[in-house]
Amino acid sequence: MNMIHNTAITPPLLATLTILALTSGLAHATHYPAGNVTFNGSVAGTTCQIDIDGSDISTTGHNATVAFLSSPVDAGSFGGQGQGPDQDFILNVTNCNVSNINLMFSGTPDANNSSAFANSTAPGSATGVAVALRETLTSYPLLPGQNSTSSFSLDTQPNHVTFIRLTAKLLQTTAATPTAGNVTVNTVMSIIY
């Protein structure tokens, strides 16, 4: 015996079916252009020659090392959280055909001080320390992970040098005395023309 049931469509179900019917038509909507977008830039014939404290990074595989002259630092001599020795270093920029560059350092922020670059976690590494970077003359910080940049005007005369003075601070990042070990902080320096 066959039974036939009458099923009434309730108002909430009817509203849902109506919305589904209306939105299914959107998939076939016609798209019209809203406007034009133009991208402008330029290509430089050559880039600047840069060395860091006498190490020409254009000939050393684009790598340079800044050593803390006061190293090794006595773990008990930091003087507290945020304290530690400074190391100034100079970027010598020559033979540029642009009058201005932006300088950016990127790397891993320290877990305890996000304005400093984290030390390596490899075996034998010191703990409780990080390296903070800043412009020497203005004290403007170069922060990791935040794409902070500093702008510098350059001397564009052939063989003239623009000196960009920076400071690295090896700082204590916790209230506890740092543990002894190696300090190796890797950053990527980007120069934006």
pTM: 0.71
Q: Give the CA dihedral 120, 126, 127, 131, nearest 10 degrees.
A: -60
Q: Which residues contact 136 (CB under 8 A, 6 or more apart)?
A: 88, 165, 166, 167
- Domains of the chain from N-terminus onward: 49-60+79-192 (2.60.40.1090)
Which has the closest alpha carbon to 186: 141, 121, 127? 121
Check residue 102 and give its pLDDT: 85
Check residue 104 and give its pLDDT: 86
The two structure tokens encoding residue 15 = 């509203």
Angle 82-63-52 from CA coordinates, rounded to 5°: 70
Check residue 92 and give its pLDDT: 86
* Contact criterion met (CB below 8 Å) for 193 and 106: no
pLDDT in tens, 40-97: 665 555 677 888 877 766 655 667 788 876 668 888 888 888 888 998 988 888 888 7
How long is the chain? Answer: 193
Q: Give the least confident one: 16-30, 80-94, 120-134, 159-173.
A: 16-30
pLDDT in tens, 110-156: 999 999 999 999 999 999 999 999 999 999 999 986 667 788 888 87
3-state secondary structure of 167: strand
Q: Which residues contact 137 (CB under 8 A, 6 or more apart)?
A: 165
> CA 113 to CA 17: how far, in whole Å?
55
Work out whether the CA dihedral 68, 137, 188, 111 comes out positive or negative. positive
